[in-house]
Amino acid sequence: MEKRPGSKHLILSGGSRGLGLALLNKLLDEGYQVSTFARSMTPSLQDCLNAFPDSCRGESLDIQDAEGLRRFCQESVSRFGEIYGVINNSAIAIDGVLATLPEIEIARMLSVNLEGVIRLTRLAVRSMLKANQGGRILNISSIIGTRGYNGLAVYSATKAGLDGFTRSLARELGRMQISVNSIAPGYFPTDMSGTLSSSQMGQIVRRTPMNRLARFEDIAPLALFLLSPSAEFITGQTILVDGGISC
């Protein structure tokens, strides 16, 4: 299938469910061509592939698979052209106090949430530099990276590291007109927050000035704006979308 003239090619990790799926649908509706992957395919992702056969490709791929990532990016570029932007959305959160958290789980969070992001971004940046037309990098961080949360010390560390990666890479790529930003959502219902009890979730809602959890539709408009030409001078920022809980 040929690349549509004027469309921009984005890589989206973790596009099979939750926030990633919401972003995928918005991006496709806006006319982007999107290559996405996730650890497993879902019926919802397959629906997107069926509905947008000329502008969406997806497959099952673990972000820890370095060779798989390289192949995925090569095949995506072959289909849709050089990469304009990447949205790093893949992440895992494993709940547990540090003293008893298994080392294998610590290593897994570091591998997925940091190493995988860096590896995918590196591949995307090479394509952006080859195209020499600027670009956008969006990292989906978390309020937990700035505020912390009991039992999520390692996850918090990975998200704080992601924000540091954002700031430094923004300095590195600014002269090439490639912006790099993080979006840090507040608490919202996801597979990762499923370990929180109803009383914990209720406490979070009460502490949030907007008196509710975040919704996927709260995040997608900001992502679309940061991808747009109107946001070309915004870079190196971690933007919280948290209903005011961090005030």
- What's 243's DSSP letter? T
- The CA distance from 124 to 11, in Å, is 8
pLDDT tens digits, 55-85? 999 999 999 999 999 999 999 999 999 999 9
Band of residue 1 on the pLDDT scale cut at 50, 70, 90: very low
Whether residue 6 has pLDDT greater than 60? no
Cβ–Cβ under 8 Å, residues 91 and 139: no
Mean pLDDT calculated for residue range 213-239 = 95
Band of residue 5 on the pLDDT scale cut at 50, 70, 90: very low
Cα 150 to Cα 17, 103, 153: the distances in Å are 26, 18, 7
Domains of the chain, first to last: 9-187+216-238 (3.40.50.720)
Cβ–Cβ under 8 Å, residues 11 and 73: yes
- Angle value at C-alpha 227, between 67 and 74, nearest 5 degrees: 20
Neighbours of 5 (CB within 10 A): 5
pLDDT at 246: 86
Mean pLDDT calculated for residue range 93-122 = 96
Whether residue 197 has pLDDT greater than 80? no
Cβ–Cβ under 8 Å, residues 23 and 87: yes
Whether residue 242 has pLDDT greater than 80? yes
Band of residue 2 on the pLDDT scale cut at 50, 70, 90: very low
pLDDT tens digits, 30-44? 999 999 999 999 999
Band of residue 189 on the pLDDT scale cut at 50, 70, 90: confident
- What's 174's DSSP letter? G
Over the chain, what is the mean pLDDT? 93
Catalytic option among 32, 84, 149, 155: 155
- The CA distance from 28 to 32, in Å, is 5
121, amino acid identity: T
Band of residue 149 on the pLDDT scale cut at 50, 70, 90: confident
pLDDT at 88: 98
84 is catalytic: no
Cβ–Cβ under 8 Å, residues 22 and 220: yes
Whether residue 191 has pLDDT greater than 70? no
